Amino acid sequence: MMAKVETKEEGISPEPVEIKKTKKSKKKTTTSEKPFLETITGIGPTTRQRLETAGYGSREAIALATRAQLTEISGIAEKTAALLIREARVQFDLGLKKGTDYEEAAKTRVKLTTGSKAFDKLIGGGFETGSVTEVAGENGCGKTQIAHQLAVNCVKYLDQDVIWIDSEGTFRFNRIVQMAEALDIDPDTVLSRITVGRAYNSEHQMALTEEALTMVPNIGLIIVDSLMSHFRSEFAGRGTLAERQQLIGKYLAFIAKQAEIMNCVGVVTNQVSAKPEAMFFGDPNKPVGGNIVGHTVTTRIFIRKGKAVKRTASLTKSPELPDGKIEFAITTEGVRDFTSK
Ligand SMILES: Nc1ncnc2c1ncn2[C@@H]1O[C@H](COP(=O)(O)OP(=O)(O)OP(=O)(O)O)[C@@H](O)[C@H]1O
Ligand SMILES: [Mg+2]
């Protein structure tokens, strides 16, 4: 079944997303409470129905909406939109915060190990929950291998579920089995906790992401492998570039919001395009997707292929860590430290 994708306003429709209570999450859950819209005085059944139809039936969806989005719905006045958003944000705790609140939030962030100590150290202990990390690099550098390892590690170390949006058909259950066996965890348990959405085009990709995020109960990790392949092939001409960038921006921002709210790790893989003119001025390879991807992801890691199992990982963007570069290995067991024996 395919979920609806609304391409007009948010690019990705702000369907009601039920916030699950995890061990780490402090967010309130809506399940046993009165529906949000019924708690607001002055919102009658007609308005309620209109909001629900447009995908703004829940407190979470409204808390994350903008005034412009709500006033686009017929019959919703500016004042009503403002009231709804304010109330939803107060209830949902999305309003202004103190620096100390950030300190508290940081304590709930968890690091998901890569399997390599050197790699973990480079990125401050592992892939962090609450934001999106981009893993970029050329064909065969190991982006999908890293994704498999993170999926296994999520089940093993965080005891949480994985969403895998597969736009290239490269999810391999047997790699999960090999990596799980290497870590002494039952492969079937791991496989049963990974929900794979095979995306056949960009719209399908966005719909699957949304659907998976609302369906999977205890998300520790969401992987999009790869972010750009469909967008790249479908929006090939220059004329469609602006539209493409807008869609990607909204899609990524949606994933980032979800990663933050659910306090799960967001990972998107990305290819690089060779830029011949850059050959003499530093890096000839640039992650595709332009500035919008670079701006929206919180952390950016660049992988390069070395001889045999050897790989390098470079941290090129982080809000709190210095740039750096390390060596690691991709073996049959998975991601490991590189040793030159
Ligand atoms: N079973 C295995 N044992 C050891 N190494 C493997 C195994 N399977 C794959 N690899 C390594 O991983 C490489 C493929 O990496 P991967 O598929 O992750 O690349 P990628 O960065 O995702 O590429 P693309 O951009 O094409 O998707 C292989 O070339 C090989 O070096
Ligand atoms: Mg790949």
- Ligand nearest to C-alpha 145: 1
Ligand 1 atom 14, closest CA = 140
Query: For 123, how many CA atoms within 13 A lie in the half-sphere containing its CB?
Result: 30
Provide the residue ranges of all domains of the chain, joining segments of one domain with +: 13-101, 109-337
Q: What is the pLDDT along the chain (341 residues), one digit of tens a residue?
A: 343 333 333 335 433 333 333 344 444 444 456 888 998 888 889 999 999 888 888 888 888 888 888 999 988 999 999 999 888 888 877 667 889 988 988 999 999 999 999 999 999 999 999 999 999 999 999 999 999 999 999 999 999 999 999 999 999 999 999 999 999 999 999 999 999 999 999 999 999 999 998 888 899 999 999 999 999 889 877 678 888 888 999 999 999 989 998 899 999 999 998 765 544 554 556 888 778 898 899 999 999 999 999 999 999 999 999 999 999 999 999 999 999 86
Question: What CATH class is the domain 109-337?
Answer: alpha beta
Please tell me the total number of residues recorded for the chain in this structure: 341
Q: Which residues line ligand 1 (CB under 6 A)?
A: 137, 139-145, 168, 170, 271, 330-332
Question: What CATH class is the domain 13-101?
Answer: mainly alpha
Asked if the peptide bond before residue 340 counts as cis, ω within 30 degrees of 0, the response is no
Q: How far is the CA of 274 from the centre of ligand 2 (A)?
A: 17
Same fold for the pair 13-101 and 109-337: no
Scanning the structure block, which residue is given the tokens 């139809």? 53
Give pTM, 2 decimals. 0.79
Q: How far is the CA of 118 from the centre of ligand 1 (A)?
A: 20
Q: How far is the CA of 170 from the centre of ligand 2 (A)?
A: 6
DSSP one-letter string for 195-241: EEEE-SSHHHHHHHHHHHHHH-SSEEEEEEE-SSHHHHHHS-SGGGH
